[in-house]
Amino acid sequence: MINRRKFLGNASLTFLASLLGLPGIQLPASASARQWKNWSGLLSCHPEAVMVPESEHELIRLLTSPETGTRHIRPVGYGHSFSPLIPTNDILLSLSRLSGLVSTESQTSEATFLAGTRMSDMGMALQDNGQAFINMADIDRQSLAGAISTSTHGTGADLGSLSSYVTGLTLVTPDGIRLECDSKRSPDIFQAARVSLGALGVITRIRLKNRETYRLKKTTWGEKTHSVLERAEELLRTHRHFEMFPMVNSDMAIVQTIDETSEALTDIPGPDTEGDETLRKLQEFGGYLPWLRRWLTNSAIEEMQPMSFVGESWQVLPSARNMKFNEMEYQIPLAAGPQCLKEILATIEKESVDIVFPLEYRYVKGDDVWMSMFNGRDSCSISVHHFADYDHRPYFDLIEPIFWKYEGRPHWGKIHTLSAKTLQPLYPHWDDFMSIRERLDPGGRMLNKHLSKLFFTDS
């Protein structure tokens, strides 16, 4: 019998390890650094300076001083975005020193964190104060500000993106004005800043709506992809979290559910480095005998035994990832998700794409945040991956037009090719956001080449 931990050692389950938590970049604490790279190595730049303020007061001084007060600035977290939101040849501004829990409010289950706090450091801090995230992304290595600025999300039909749980924030504008924003104070700026792409100024504090602490049980098993899709509505109804990882050039998927539980804590599985290597070998050598690779993948997943473990919510929701990859992700209207997924899988087979990296298929509740990918609609989130040292472009270029057919919205932090002309019709509050951006940053100091392409039709 083949269990989950042994699957990829035998043939292919590395995908779980390859979809797991990324070590972030540590920017130097000086203004003289000369190179920055994102986690996957796809993006890089040589900024003239890297600023790492230790306080809001120092941040305001940097934004308004004669030496830097007219310079272009890009705020940077821990390098987890695959889209070129960060690269600049001018100033990178890291909030890595503005980190930690500021305060909690027990009656409303809210907590305020400094914006540079790494999300992996937040779970225990919340638990010590009787609180827990309502939901988390499957990666927790990014900064809190970076996560909300790109509409980062987890999975769950009744659970929104992280931005939807933001109840207040502090924004320092490019000209050094400190604004407290929530639904009552500067509500229009609040709606824009909850997903800002770092284009409105620098977020320094974020208040989140949370809940009481809770435990979760994660269960993983293998099943035919078509069978999972047939049962998707049932799985959505009966589990707090449900997602699957369809194996490409295969008939199988790995399914994952997560539910609240009062069961005793168990050991939390760590990264499967042996499985990572096996997936690499399947990619490197399996293309010579694709029929054999398909048979091995199908057989191994069919023989998988279900595996479960129990942990605190903040331990179970994110995963640890070591294998580097590049990623494209689109959000599809909920009802269109299954058909979009089927078309992607069929296209990969029809075009004989030599790829083993699994897709990722999740659900996210709609919200009212202006630039959220989930604004006004419940969504299926479908992700496409390729190893970081392979050229992802032919594969992604083949698949991306399929997302467009289904009115897909690209993840702001993932690879895509859309610009203002094609993005504007997808967002009902696009013009509202652009009006706020122009008001707060009329000189475009917070923009780089990529953001200019996203925001301006004639760029």
Asked whether the predicted pLDDT for residue 17 surpasses 60, the reply is no
d(CA 423, CA 421): 6
Rg of the chain (C-alpha set): 22
pLDDT of residue 269: 87
The two structure tokens encoding residue 74? 């890009």
Domain spans, the chain: 2-19+214-410, 36-94, 101-212
d(CA 175, CA 453): 23
Contact 47, 36 (CB under 8 A): yes
> What is the average per-residue pLDDT within 40-57?
95
Looking at domain 36-94, its CATH class is alpha beta
| SS3 state of residue 233 | helix
CB atoms within 10 A of CB 144: 27
Predicted structure pTM score:
0.91
pLDDT tens for each residue of 85-120: 999 999 999 999 999 999 999 999 999 999 999 999
- List 326's β-bridge partners, or say none: 386
pLDDT tens for each residue of 265-274: 999 988 777 7
Average pLDDT, the chain: 91
Identify the CATH assignment for 101-212 out of 3.40.50.720, 3.30.465.10, 3.40.367.20, 3.10.20.30: 3.30.465.10
Closest CA to 348 of 228, 232, 250: 250
Angle between helices 393-405 and 337-350 (to 10 degrees): 140
Asked whether the predicted pLDDT for residue 13 surpasses 50, the reply is no
Q: Quick one: DSSP state of residue 428?
A: T
Q: What is the CATH number of domain 2-19+214-410?
A: 3.40.462.10
CB atoms within 10 A of CB 423: 19
